[in-house]
Amino acid sequence: MAMAAEGCFPIVRDLTLPHGPSEAVAETVAQLGGLDLLVNAHGTVCRFQAEEFPAAEWERTIATNLSAVFARCQTAGRYFLAHGRGKIVNIASMLSFSGGLNASAYAASKGGIAQLTKALANEWAARGINVNAIATGYFETAMTQPLRGDPVRNQQILDRLPAGRWGRPEELAGALIFLCSPASDYLHGVILPVDSGWLAR
């Protein structure tokens, strides 16, 4: 989704295909006349015990959550480098810090997002590009519905959350606006938790 002054316009591409990310960035530049920000907020999760994890689901998860993010960062990064400025925000996860349960591919991909964010910041900070990430905690989304619908797992999560509740998606907006604004111009390679204090416990 690209943002214009008068609203939004959709760009539909399969980001796991070789030319998907570059086509999406190129069309955004063509529609808007430039590019200032890239937010990588897409993702998927597949839950199996590790010994039963299907190879095809592993490959799909890594391709969607990590490889496609790198491809979009690379394509947008080339544009930003040519113009001397730009901001990239990746969406990481609590599983960037811990292994989770029954989500080995997701954990691997989100651990990769944290390290990719740091690696790109190391290369591009001095060249005018901010690369940071938001590590989301436990939010009320379609992706977390199976966890919220499991009475045991839901209670385990609530017991660890200092606020005692799941987050609402709109509660991510402040961190995202901050990382996209001039207020974060001296932040590079930060993995910012928005997690109700999950990591504090």
Structure token pair of residue 79: 């544009």
What are the percentages of helix, strand and coil residues in the chain, rounded to 5? 55, 15, 30
The total number of structural domains in the chain stands at 1
Q: Which domain holds residue 20?
A: 2-200
What is the structure's pLDDT at 4? 60
Asked whether the whole model's pTM tops 0.85, one would answer: yes
| CA angle, 156 then 110 then 45, to 5° | 65
Which residue type is seen at 16? T
Look at residue 5 and tell me whether its pLDDT is greater than 60: no
- Based on the residue annotation, tell me whether 106 is a catalytic residue of this protein: yes
Q: Catalytic pick from 79, 106, 138, 186? A: 106
Look at residue 35 and tell me whether its pLDDT is greater than 90: yes
What is the structure's pLDDT at 1? 62
pLDDT tens profile 64-97:
999 999 999 999 999 999 999 999 999 999 999 9
**Contact of 89 with 39, CB cutoff 8 Å:** yes
**What's the CATH number where 105 sits?**
3.40.50.720
